[in-house]
Amino acid sequence: MGSHLDSVAIGGRFDGSFFRSMQEQGVKTRAPLVLINWTNEEGARFFLRLETSSVYAGKSTIEAAHASTSNGHSGPTRGGELAKIGYVGNGPNTFEEFPISAYFEIHVEQAGYDLVFPTSERRRRPCEYVPNVSSPRHVVGVAKIMTAVDELAHKHNGRSMITNVLSGPRGACNIRSSTRISFCLMNREAADLEDMGADIEKQIKGVASRQGLELEVKRDVHLLPRDFWPEATDCIRRACGDKGITSHAGMSHGSTMTTTLVPTGMVFVRAKDDISHCAKEWSDKDDSTHLILKNV
């Protein structure tokens, strides 16, 4: 079991509470338990996200993960920063080297707020695009693209989200030389997700043509919708009893990759005032620790 600590910095307290409770009560399990922290899993500091779990699932490499650059394009790489604090390990790093039999992830988030706080049972998977545009009118063009991304979700009954805007060099009265934006598209249905991707690329090219922009579009992440394993979700339903609500959620987590390997499920707990992924986030351990204990 496990989670990520980059965007939910104190979320790991629930994982730790679970393990302490198991030890205090002398609970013996059929198989050893493993606690995982997927480093930078939501891309809080380095781009791309999901690199750690992707390495574990054999979808990426250690070298690629360490080469990830900071979101602010300031120069540091993930590998370099890990080396600075002595956190570069020597493995095992992959499922083949360290297999698990099942995976549960507890996540602090409120269902129904995935437009603002990206969240997952059957999941809408994101396609992440990074258009680069440059010309005297490119800032206006980027604004039009961002509007198109927002409207796209309503058109296709999906979700969309602008995640990053980088324009430079900075100046008070000079024209920006280039602007880079990142956005995610999400949908429950694979065909609809593909349609969203084709639609927005067509619109982006249209904006570039009308505004006279030099354009580059790169799709960095493409994950189609996938169901969690019924064995795992059944455990969660039985543990929740009449207190649980089945939820669809839109973003990617370590569970995105583990579900390609072993039975996987996610448990979402309530966040006070519907606020998560920030310093004000708070969830009560009574809503989470006991539930994940029953699941595992």
pLDDT, tens digit (0-9, with 9 covering 90-100), for 46-83: 877 788 888 999 988 999 999 988 877 678 899 999 99
pLDDT for 98 equals 94
Mean pLDDT is highest, among 158-167, 274-283, 286-295, for 158-167
Per-residue model confidence (pLDDT) at position 115:
28
Quick one: average pLDDT of 225-246? Answer: 77
- Residue 240 pLDDT: 75
The whole-number pLDDT of residue 247 equals 66
Task: Return phi, psi of residue 48, to 5°.
Answer: -95, 170
pLDDT in tens, 198-224: 998 899 889 888 888 877 887 777 777
Domains of the chain and CATH, by start:
2-123+226-295 (3.40.630.10), 127-222 (3.30.70.360)
Span 175-190, pLDDT tens digits: 666 778 888 888 888 8
pLDDT tens across 116-168, in order? Answer: 222 222 333 344 556 666 555 677 888 898 999 999 888 998 888 887 777 76
CA-to-CA distance for 129 and 143, rounded, in angstroms? 15
pTM across the whole model = 0.71
Contact 103, 236 (CB under 8 A): no
Mean pLDDT of the chain: 76
**Sign of the alpha-carbon dihedral angle for 15, 31, 49, 275:** negative
The percent of residues above 70 in pLDDT, for the chain, comes to 71
Has residue 2 got a pLDDT over 60?
Answer: yes
Backbone angles phi, psi at 115, to 5 degrees: -70, -30
Q: Cα–Cα distances in Å, from 230 out to 85, 124, 234?
A: 40, 17, 6
